[in-house]
Structure 1
Amino acid sequence: MVVSFSMQNILETLSGTTSITLPAIKENGLQLDYHNNDKPETVYNGAEPPLPFANSVLYHANIAEWKRLTAVDDRCKAVYEVTFDVTDCNFTFKAGDTIGVVPQNNEDEVNAVLRHLDLESLADTSYILRVDSSIKGCKIPPHIPVKSTLKYLLTHCVDLRSILKKLFLLALSRFTKDEDERKVLEYFCSKEGSTAYQAHILNGNLCVLDIFNIFKSCKPPIEVLIANLPRLLPRPYSIVNTGVKDSSKIKICFSVIDLGNKRSGLTTGWLEKKISNEFELEKDFNQLTIVDCDIVNNKIPIYLRKNICGFSLPENLEAPLILVGPGTGVAPFIGFLEELELAKENNRNKTFGDVWLFFGCRDSTLDFIYEKELNGFLSRGVLNKFCTVFSRMDNAVKYVQDAILQEGESIAKLLDDGAFVFVSGDVNTMAMQIKETFVKCLTTYNNKTQEEADKLISDMVKEKRYCVDAWS
């Protein structure tokens, strides 16, 4: 994150404004009391918050193996594969399933909040949270423990990086001593400051960490954060392998994104730190593999998620399959191909449909992840067609949608033959562009009208013959 506004410029804007319209502020009735306790415990007011889309219990898994999939080069993002040992948990999963990884906030960021609020000395002291009965409508948020410590609360329960809502900013402004800083925070909350709020808070992804860094005199009671910060939610990740082949290990693949301001993605940065703290990263790309590392006392909380969108191999394997997975989007298709290969080995007299895979990355020498595995599936006949595109190399075809259109006549025939389409990737706009490309293939090579082509794809979506797993 790079701060994109000048407080002085906003103050100059405010100087010509006679008044601003602020939303009504809700009184905070939460009260936190500290108690010396030799054995701090974490207790919720009722059951702990449920795990979203859970299809299993929470399991604390060791990292059995990890490797870097991309070159160690500033021209590409770091992409890792991490293997969790789940031997003892009886997970049942297949290709296309996902896990939830329960993250924790960055230790430096937690400490920064405690330090800014002058609460370092109370970080590990037990607290009891209660509600002032004289304030109507005040409730303890369900994701907040009524008993715990501030260190645990800020590390595991609240999302410190959540984008600030206007009412939260307004509450923060009430505890900002510097008059200019308070005026700017109030302006962001006001009706007149809506454009500035959109441009600087929403588009800038500003969180409470940024506010404390910019507005030094903003020092609210911890109860204000407790009342306004949302729950720290698990992050979903596609499973790379299939449990049909080996259910004792779960592999995930992820890229580490630089968010600026010395921040990377919360969960991916946390996982990278887990493995890099235990083992120094080698500079030789060929040596970037660690096996059986069993990171002591650093188990990762994971659970299986329900596959509600039907992103899994169809029962009818005689139908053609079109798989589209640029970048880390190719990860779940490794499991698809593993399951297909097993099915072919166990049903040698059965007819299987053609399988096409479209993959794209920047540079074949930098971030062509799973190159060896994918070419192996191609050579063994599990894949019938493997189309690759590299956007930063000197090629006419730059993106997967271009490659699909280049094979448009064959794609249109596969769709007519009842093909199943699976699209996986890290940009929602990419998924929409690919859908439009399939429609164009149908209108160009199957003599369908735009309306007919749109309806065909829409029907495929309803029948779960066109499945998308996209994220941003």
Structure 2
Amino acid sequence: MVVIQSLRDTLQALPEKTVFTLPTITKVISLKLEYRVGDANTTIYNGPDPKLPFANSELFYATISQSRRLTACDQGCKDVYEITFDVKDSNFTFKAGDTIGIIPKNAQIEVDFILNHLSLTSQADLPYTLLLGNKESKIPTHVPVKSTLRQVLTDCLDLRCLLKKLFLLAISRYTKEDNERQVLEYLSSKEGSTAYKTHILNKQINILDIFTMFPSCKPPIEVLLSYLPKLLPRPYSIVNSYLEDSNVIKICFSVMNLGNNRRGLTTGWLEDHILNKNINLEHSLNDLCLTDHKQRSEFKVPIYMRKNISGFSLSENLETPLIFIGPGTGVAPFIGFLQEIEYAKKKNSKGKFGTVDLFFGCRNPELDFIYEKELKRFLSRNVLNSLNVSFSRVDNNEVKYVQDAVMNEGEKIAQLIKDGANIFVCGDVRTIAEQIKDVLIKCLTKYDNCLEDHEKYIVQMEKDRRYIVDAWC
């Protein structure tokens, strides 16, 4: 494992100074587990159950009625899927642009690894009671006072979270090998700040990796209960419109490759199911690449509606021009937007509607042009007025990225903005969100001489909800 070797190199390169400037541990670990052999297995919190973040509904356990792969089975593109949840028995109402939260579970193999490493396998399924050793301590609100270790490690704790220095220092106290303990202390020290950023933060090292790299590090489970944060729901944009079909919710997602032979927690879990790996492991390659199939089990996914705090939804007034910008899976909510526009046009055939321009980017038209048929169908029905697609991995293609496509249409974009256009952007906050904003400013700077401060104008559009971004990390 490359990461382990890099930390061994860190060990060999440690400075001669062995006394480091360490942070002060202020958290007193005085939790104590007592196991209750023969008691009923119940999960109880010290207070109300933890709230679902941004919840706009109750939790609903949805079955997956359909799934399809949206990209080719090729190493040249990401694995992207669309799944359809059956929500006819829920009380959900939603609009295009809304999101759902999916409650993930930690992988069983990772939970078992923690239990085995800490020699807790035999106690994993015993009911426990969590006690406090003194009045200064507190039980984290996301940790049940009664449950089992397996359930807490599966449902409550984020085993893949980035590790803070204080946590590294805390577990170093339970590391028997001197050289391993010294590295953990160094990584948590002032002197080791660069190494901490390089080897922990940048490589997204988590507690699973630490226990692999430092076999003698075996803290009491109470330390993990005290320091590991809550396993949070993952948000996903809804693809379809409630007006199209109120009984289903569709989402699309790319399976994240996180390195260290690790996939995204929720996306990997969903992929395993829709490929039926949990049912039949003897699929052929052709089976794995099926584009559409019914699910063969009553597998249920806990989901809930999230509040649309950003206001990423269409207004009732569809007379103003609309500009949609979404590379990759960022195009997902715009499918629902276009369904709502089409519904409005059918309902009011003589109404006045503004133009709709969509900018989409992917790698290759043969591999990952997701929702191509749907978008071209909207184009043929005049629901969509223009479709601007950029391909980043096609040779001799001048327009490689969606930012290039927007700049290419700069004069038109500038005029649409002057005409009162509303702009919606969906994509990665680290790249697309800021880059599109910069490109729009450049479009106005180049093609509009009326405004004095184009950057200020875009900022004002944000305040007026004419420029709305739905971004994820």
Q: Which whole-Å CA distance do the structure 1 matches of 2:288 and 2:170 have between them? A: 49
- Indicate the residue corresponding to 2:193 in structure 1: 194
2:415 aligned to 405, 413, 416, which one? 413
Superposed, 1:19-58 pairs within 5 Å as 19-25=19-25, 26-37=27-38, 39-58=40-59
- 1:16 is paired with a residue of what secondary structure? coil
Question: Is the Cα contact below 8 Å between 1:76 and 1:366 reproduced in 2?
Answer: yes
Change (3 A) 1:256 1:63: same
- 1:3 is paired with a residue of what secondary structure? helix
Kindly provide the amino acid, as one letter, of the partner of residue 224 in structure 1.
V
Structure 2 unmatched runs, 5+: none
Superposed, 1:127-166 pairs within 5 Å as 127-133=128-134, 136-166=135-165
- Indicate the residue corresponding to 1:322 in structure 2: 323
Report deviation, 1:198: 1.1
Q: Which whole-Å CA distance do the structure 1 matches of 2:367 and 2:414 have between them? A: 32
Report deviation, 1:244: 1.9
Superposed, 1:62-461 pairs within 5 Å as 62-133=63-134, 136-276=135-275, 277=277, 278=279, 280=283, 283=286, 287-291=290-294, 293=295, 295-296=297-298, 298-394=299-395, 395-448=397-450, 452-461=453-462
- 1:428 is paired with a residue of what secondary structure? coil
Q: Which whole-Å CA distance do the structure 1 matches of 2:450 and 2:442 have between them? A: 9
Change (3 A) 1:281 1:225: farther
Question: Is the Cα contact below 8 Å between 1:95 and 1:335 reproduced in 2?
Answer: yes
* TM-superposition CA deviations, 1:133-161 (whole Å, max 9, x none): 2xx52100000000000110000000000
Structure 1 unmatched runs, 5+: none
Question: Is the Cα contact below 8 Å between 1:71 and 1:285 reproduced in 2?
Answer: no
* TM-superposition CA deviations, 1:151-180 (whole Å, max 9, x none): 100000000000111111111101100000
Q: Which whole-Å CA distance do the structure 1 matches of 2:235 and 2:14 have between them? A: 43
* TM-superposition CA deviations, 1:403-459 (whole Å, max 9, x none): 11111111111000000000001343211111111111111111256x621111111
Q: Which whole-Å CA distance do the structure 1 matches of 2:429 and 2:390 have between them? A: 17
Report deviation, 1:215: 0.1
* TM-superposition CA deviations, 1:348-392 (whole Å, max 9, x none): 111100000000100000001000000000000000000001000
Question: Is the Cα contact below 8 Å between 2:28 and 2:136 reproduced in 1?
Answer: no
What is the aligned residue count? 467
- 1:247 is paired with a residue of what secondary structure? coil
- Indicate the residue corresponding to 2:11 in structure 1: 11
- 2:382 is paired with a residue of what secondary structure? coil
Q: Which whole-Å CA distance do the structure 2 matches of 1:282 and 1:15 have between them? A: 51
Q: Which whole-Å CA distance do the structure 2 matches of 1:281 and 1:72 have between them? A: 13
Question: Is the Cα contact below 8 Å between 1:359 and 1:387 reproduced in 2?
Answer: yes
Kindly provide the amino acid, as one letter, of the partner of residue 428 in structure 1.
R
* TM-superposition CA deviations, 1:62-93 (whole Å, max 9, x none): 01110110001111111000100000012100
Q: Which whole-Å CA distance do the structure 2 matches of 1:437 and 1:10 have between them? A: 42
**Structure 1 length as normaliser, TM-score?**
0.96
Q: Which whole-Å CA distance do the structure 2 matches of 1:18 and 1:271 have between them? A: 46
- 1:358 is paired with a residue of what secondary structure? strand
- 2:236 is paired with a residue of what secondary structure? strand
- 1:6 is paired with a residue of what secondary structure? helix
- 2:14 is paired with a residue of what secondary structure? helix
**Structure 2 length as normaliser, TM-score?**
0.96
* TM-superposition CA deviations, 1:11-70 (whole Å, max 9, x none): 344342152111222331110111113530111111110000000000000011101100
Kindly provide the amino acid, as one letter, of the partner of residue 20 in structure 1.
F
Q: Which whole-Å CA distance do the structure 2 matches of 1:272 and 1:328 have between them? A: 16
Root-mean-square deviation over aligned CA pairs: 1.6
Kindly provide the amino acid, as one letter, of the partner of residue 301 in structure 1.
P
Change (3 A) 1:285 1:211: closer
Report deviation, 1:112: 0.4
* TM-superposition CA deviations, 1:323-364 (whole Å, max 9, x none): 001000000000000000000000111110000000010000
- 1:14 is paired with a residue of what secondary structure? coil
Report deviation, 1:471: 1.2
Q: Which whole-Å CA distance do the structure 1 matches of 2:254 and 2:93 have between them? A: 26
Q: Which whole-Å CA distance do the structure 1 matches of 2:37 and 2:423 have between them? A: 59
Q: Which whole-Å CA distance do the structure 2 matches of 1:294 and 1:247 have between them? A: 23
- 2:85 is paired with a residue of what secondary structure? strand
Q: Percent identity?
A: 59
- 1:137 is paired with a residue of what secondary structure? coil
Q: Which whole-Å CA distance do the structure 1 matches of 2:114 and 2:192 have between them? A: 27
Question: Is the Cα contact below 8 Å between 1:442 and 1:448 reproduced in 2?
Answer: no
